Each structure stands twice: as structure tokens, then as C-alpha cells.
Amino acid sequence: MKTLENMFHLRENRTTVRTELLAGATTFATMAYICVLQPLYMKQAGMDAVGVLLSTALVSGLITMFMGWYSNMPIALAPGIASSVVLTFSIVQSGLAAWETGLGMVMISALLFLILSLFNLREKVVALIPKNIKVGISAGLGVFIIRTALVNAKLINPDFRGFGNLSEPSTALAAVSIVLCLLLYFARIRLNGREYKLRASLLVTIILTTLIGIPMGVTQVPGNVFTQGGLRALGNVAFKLDLLGALKPQYAAFIFAFFISDFFGTLATALGLGSQMEMLDENGNLPVIGKIFLADSIGSVVGAFMGLTIVTSYVESAAGIEVGGKTGLSSIFTGLFFLGTMLFAPIFLMIPTAATTPVLIMIGISMMQGLKTVNYESTEWTPVAILIMSTLFYGISQGIGIGLFAYCMIKTAHYLFTGEPGQMPSLMTWAFTILACLQFVL
């Protein structure tokens, strides 16, 4: 107890080991779905699902514990589902590159993030990219994730012409899962004048849908619940990245997309959680954000080596903070729960695609909420709308390239005809645009 007090300053933060344990368990419950989604999508990229699950649990557990020790913040980390979708469907299944090369792209973006974190250059990079475009990229990713979830569940046809065949058990189960998720996610119970909601609604949805799928013949129950051949499976995905192959110019847009996802996702999560804990200073800055960025970037580098997509801070950490988590000790407990999942890989791998469909939809919707902060003047909103529509119909990297190009052209034209100062895009914004558009000419 004395050691824990010295490390995490429990009394100073008015918390206890019991409270931090509850917070850690709550955070894990709200984000445990990543142990389902990451192997599921990486399997479709050709990777060993058991190996990906073990790597996800191992890296998430260790880097979350490191975050807790290094920053003393109740923040948990795991692979981001958006980057997993991009690697699987936009890179591998589109025929652009193998998953090993995709992981090389992840590593390059992670190293860039690490360098910026080490030299404290993040604020300057933030200023280079227009705010509306940042929001548009996040919203575009959300739209792409929703589309991917609906198509994979066969609820809509890939060409968007009509609904899928609901007479198929897996498709019907996906529809049931969405209804169930909406009911649980928005359910509220009032007791003694206080309102409560189900913190682990996404995880509960996955569990219930999986159980419903057993009599429907969709869920295949494993013969053994314990992990077997774990080291061999882990070796099939760890240290397989192709860094040199990822250096080709046509991959620049994807590296940029991974970088944006990690950099700005972590920035938004850190500031949001800091605000929830009332830790922001008078200028709206979080004093420990440098430590959060560094831990996060180390997680992405380690994750790429271990066969994972971008490892990022999870906004679900807010659930643990809401039940009382105030220090890094809750992250230590969350990390221990992640490590424990390594023993039960078959249980996670039995979960069908239908069970994860609503989770992806809710994540996508959450990523689109930033649009409420967009400036809706025509010259500001039009390139964002173009970016989102292009992402929906063409893909992530294409959407970013088209959106940035539209932004630069619209703002340049507006400046030439009006002469209003501040309308002309900066040289660095043009540089980012040219980099993202190389994919269309190479």
C-alpha cells in the first residue's frame, strides 16, 4: 500500500485501491470488444487470428500499464479499429499491398509520431492542417467504418443497391444485433434521483448476440476455451512488417491517414479526458499531455512490430473515470485484465461478424460527432463534404486526397477573387495535399 501511495498519490487524488480497481475493470469492460474486432478484421487481411488476438491483449495490456505508471493518468490503449479497417479493406483486399507492407506503413507513421513527441513538435503540426479538414477526416473514417460494417454483415449490397437477404441467418442476426445494441446503448434507469446507463453496453451486445447465434447456427462453439499453440500463433504475426516495401510513394496517403488517426485521435482523447478530470489549465492545455503522447507513440511502434495497427488512447477510458478512477493505478488494473484474455483466445474467436456489426456502427457514429464543430460557411464546409462523400464511395486515402485538393483549390480561388487575407492555404498545407494526391498519378 505504501508503494502504491508513493507511485500514484492515491490520498492526494482522493481515491483508493478499491475505487481504482473498479475503474480499471469498467474501462476494460467498455473496450474489450477490440479483442474481438481486431482479430476478426486482421484475419480477413490474411493474418493468423489467434496470433492477432494474443498480440492485441499483450500489447494493450503492457502499454496501458506503462501509460498508468509513466503519466499517472487513467488512460487505456489498444489498436484503433479505424486503422484496422483501412489496412484490411483499403490496402489488402483492394490488392494494393500485402498485410506485411501495410504494417510497414503503420510503423512509418508511428515513428513520425514518436519523433514529434520526443521533440515536442505536435503543436506545430496541429496548426498546419485546417481544423475543418481534421474533423472531416475523422467523420470520413466514421462513414467508411459504418459502410464496411453494413456490407460485411450483408445488410446492404456492396453496390448500395438495396438491402441484403434477411432470410440468411447471419444477416438476420446482424439486424437483431443492431436493434439490441440501440436498446442497451440508450437505456437509462433512474434510482434515488440518479440516472444510470449500462457502461458495457457494446460488450453486452456482443455477448448476447453471440449466444443468440448458437441456436441459429451462426455461432460455432469451440471445443476448448483455453488458448493452445499461442507462441506459434504469435510468431505468425510478430516481426513480419515490411518497412522497406512501405516506402513507395503511392503509399504516402495511407501513411498520412494512419498518422492523422493516431495523432489527432490521441490529442482529442487526452484533452477530453483531462477536461472530464478537471485537469486543464486556464489556456485549455493538459500539463501531462507530453507524457501521454510519448506513451501512445511507443505503443504504436511496439504494436507495429507485434503485428498490430495503430495503438491509440481510447475514449472509453472515460467510463472508468466516471466511476471514480483518478490515477494511473486504474490503468494498471485495466492492463492486467487485458493480459488475462490471452488465456481464452477461442472464446473471443467464436464471436461472429453479426455480433460486432453494431459496435462498428456506433464507433462510426461517434467519429462523426465532430461535425458539430465545423464552420458551415460554403468555402469551409464544401471541401469537408467532398472529403466525406469521396471517402464513402472511393475509400479512405482517396477521400483524404480529394478533400485536401478541394480545400486548396476552393480557398485559393476565393483568395484570388476576393483578396481576403487568411484565405490562401499555407505552403505546408499544399505540401500535404500534393503528398496525399501522389496516389492518383503514380
What pLDDT is stored for residue 125 in this prediction? Answer: 62
**pLDDT at 439 exceeding the cut of 70:** no
**Of the candidate ranges 101-110, 112-121, 192-201, 352-361, the one whose mean pLDDT is the lowest:** 192-201
Residue among 19, 3, 15, 66 at smallest CA distance from 335: 66
In Å, how far are 77, 220, 360 from 27, measured between CA atoms?
10, 28, 18
C-beta separation of 132 from 381 below 8 A: yes
What pLDDT is stored for residue 426 in this prediction? Answer: 80
C-beta separation of 313 from 73 below 8 A: no
Residue among 128, 90, 159 at smallest CA distance from 439: 90
Which cell numbers hold the place of 365? 457514429
**Cα–Cα dist 84/319, whole Å:** 23
Residues 277/278/283/289 CA torsion (nearest 10 deg)? -20
DSSP H helical segments within 129-276, as ranges?
131-152, 169-186, 201-216, 230-235, 252-276
What are 238-287's pLDDT values in tens digits? 999 999 999 988 888 888 878 877 776 787 678 778 877 888 777 666 78
What are 315-324's pLDDT values in tens digits? 778 878 877 8
**pLDDT at 51 exceeding the cut of 80:** yes
What pLDDT is stored for residue 127 in this prediction? Answer: 58
Percent of the chain surpassing pLDDT 70: 95
User: What is the model's pTM?
Assistant: 0.74
What pLDDT is stored for residue 262 in this prediction? Answer: 77
* In the chain, where the domains are located: 2-158+232-347, 375-442
What are 10-49's pLDDT values in tens digits? 888 888 998 899 888 888 877 888 888 899 889 999 999 9
